[in-house]
Amino acid sequence: MILYNIHGFRSTENSAKAVQLKTYYGEKIHIAKFSYVPVQAIRTLEQIIEEYEIHALMASSLGGFYATYLSEKYALKCALINPSVRPYETLGEYLGKNETHDGELFTWKEVYMEQLSQYIVPRPTVANYQLFLKTGDEILDYRVAAEYYRGAEITVDEGGTHRFDDFERHLAEAYSFLSV
């Protein structure tokens, strides 16, 4: 089974991408619900991996950072969509009140930035990763991820946005990579 919706910072298990993946993959995918607090998120995701015998991960944005840590810990294949590489640096601008895409309010704190630094992977095992990046990502510089995961299978699409709205074009490719 594939674990997804190791979702992004202000996203949830009900995001458009999660619905799209559930529609495409059906029972082959588990959509996760987890806390915005990093240590709680990792704990929940570890429990899901162990309980559901997850063999691969899909993640986007901040979820890509979590998935990288989990991929290394459990030796899992991983497909990442516009992943965050250094959220312990880039999420500083979101300190304070935030709202998820479905209206849930939460407060992002400095201590959460510190928690993220516990999950840094100095160099990922690139053979386990497939990346899908958009050059038009307005949130994260795609080149940072391309460099960090250099040697992995990387698809770079011109233009687009951080949401990677046309990801359905890559669903079969991601599934093929994760199923090997």
Taking only the tens place, the pLDDT of each residue in 119-178 is: 999 999 999 999 999 999 999 999 999 999 999 999 999 999 888 888 889 999 999 999
Retrieve residue 33's tokens: 């619900």
Domains in the chain (CATH in brackets) are: 2-7+29-85+124-179 (3.40.50.1820)
Best CA proximity match to 162, nearest among 75, 44, 59, 83: 83
**pLDDT tens column, 102-117:** 788 999 999 999 999 9
CB 34 within 8 A of CB 12: no
Angle between the 38-51 and 62-74 helix axes, to the nearest 10 degrees?
A: 50
Other beta carbons within 10 Å of 14: 14
Element (H, E) at 79: strand 77-81
pTM of the model: 0.92
Cα–Cα dist 33/66, whole Å? 13
CA-based nearest residue to 80, from 145, 34, 147: 145
Condensed to tens digits (0 to 9), the pLDDT of residues 2-34 reads 765 566 676 767 677 777 778 888 888 877 788
Tokens of 81: 């969509």
